[in-house]
């Protein structure tokens, strides 16, 4: 079975690239609870909790110099996430989103993010040493949302960084997270995804997103496409159904864990990805990693919001 070992560091170094936003959770009575969230940030938090001192988990983003950005950074420090790769841009602000959840636990997102600082994450002079440092990490983790918010120039810089890091033995891990509203067109999104997929070692996919973006007929078509592409390790998340894994030419499934009452599905996929990656870094097989992913996701969807309390 395909191994997942760091590229020489005694303690694996993991950098997660993306955006954290101000999160507003709308409750049943119409009131709003404020916190922070974002797909790769959610994964970073759960990954840091799972790995503890067994790995170095750093977040890569750009924030403003406002009080919300200050609060974000403090929370990340408290969670054990490194801030060395976080830029603070004067006069800028983080993005904002609101989660509205229906009676079945399904959610609707409303976004305010067009002027978010992260859009200049890889285009500022301060980004140069950060990009150089990323080439020496063991794992680079990013998502489809990362691709959208970085823009065309930022994506070019990301691809070059992935190439350099992989030449040194790093693994690139990608969560597809396709959000149509972040793209000018479906064709633009397809082009952006296709530009980075050749450099991905582990693809953590959601079947609905793959069908919406590329029009695949079913799960088998998704796995066939990634198998043809040569992606070494593919995990296809399918909600309450078993996930499908393609690794070393072998395809198998790992059943999901049943949950009696789903409260909020926010960060279900992000937490699965975190637990999966943590297990693989600690020596678990893909099947063991998927079991860990299902277990954590099943707990997350029983609590409101993206990040459940540590307890």
Contacting residues for 29 by C-beta, under 8 A, at least 6 apart: none
pLDDT digits (tens, 9 = 90+) for 81-95: 999 999 999 999 999
pLDDT digits (tens, 9 = 90+) for 255-286: 998 998 998 887 899 999 999 999 999 999 99
CATH of domain 13-300: 3.40.1190.20
Residue 3 pLDDT greater than 70, yes or no: no
Quick one: what percent of the chain has pLDDT higher than 70? Answer: 97
Q: Which of 175, 201, 209, 270 is catalytic?
A: 270
Whether 39 sits among the annotated catalytic residues: the reply is no
Task: Give the Cα separation of 86 and 105 in Å (integer).
Answer: 33
The domain ranges of the chain are 13-300
Contacting residues for 156 by C-beta, under 8 A, at least 6 apart: none
Residue 1 pLDDT greater than 70, yes or no: no
Q: Considering only 228-242, 266-280, 296-310, which range has the smallest mean pLDDT?
A: 296-310
Ramachandran angles phi, psi of 52, nearest 5°: 55, -130
3-state secondary structure of 236: strand
Q: Which residues pair with 34 in a beta bridge?
A: 24
Give me the pLDDT at residue 8, please: 62
């Amino acid at each position: 079975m395909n191994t997942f070992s760091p590229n020489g560091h005694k303690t694996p170094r993991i950098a997660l690239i993306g955006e954290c936003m101000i999160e507003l959770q709308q409750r049943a009575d119409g009131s709003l609870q404020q916190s922070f969230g974002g797909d790769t940030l959610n994964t970073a938090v759960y990954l840091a909790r799972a790995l503890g001192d067994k790995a170095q988990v750093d977040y890569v983003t750009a924030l403003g110099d406002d009080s919300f950005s200050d609060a974000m950074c403090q929370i990340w420090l408290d969670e054990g996430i490194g801030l060395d790769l976080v830029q603070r841009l004067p006069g800028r602000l983080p993005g904002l989103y609101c989660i509205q959840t229906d009676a079945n636990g399904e959610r609707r997102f409303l976004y305010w993010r067009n002027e978010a600082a992260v859009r200049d994450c890889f285009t500022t002079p301060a980004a140069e040493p950060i990009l150089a440092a990323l080439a020496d990490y063991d794992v680079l983790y990013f998502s489809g949302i990362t691709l959208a918010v970085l823009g065309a120039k930022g994506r070019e810089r990301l691809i070059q960084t992935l190439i350099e890091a992989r030449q040194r033995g790093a693994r690139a891990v990608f969560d597809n997270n396709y959000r149509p509203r972040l793209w000018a067109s479906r064709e633009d999104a397809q082009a952006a995804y296709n530009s980075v997929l050749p450099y991905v070692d582990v693809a953590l996919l959601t079947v609905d997103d793959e069908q919406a973006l590329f029009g695949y007929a079913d799960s088998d078509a998704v796995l066939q496409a990634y198998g043809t592409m040569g992606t070494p390790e593919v995990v296809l998340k399918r909600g309450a159904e078993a996930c499908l894994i393609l690794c070393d030419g072998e395809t198998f499934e790992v059943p999901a864990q049943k949950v009696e009452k789903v409260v909020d599905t926010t960060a279900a996929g992000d937490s699965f990805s975190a637990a999966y990656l943590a297990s693989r870094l600690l020596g678990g097989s893909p099947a063991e990693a998927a079991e860990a992913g299902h277990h954590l996701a099943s707990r997350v969807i029983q609590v409101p919001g993206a990040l459940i309390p540590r307890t």
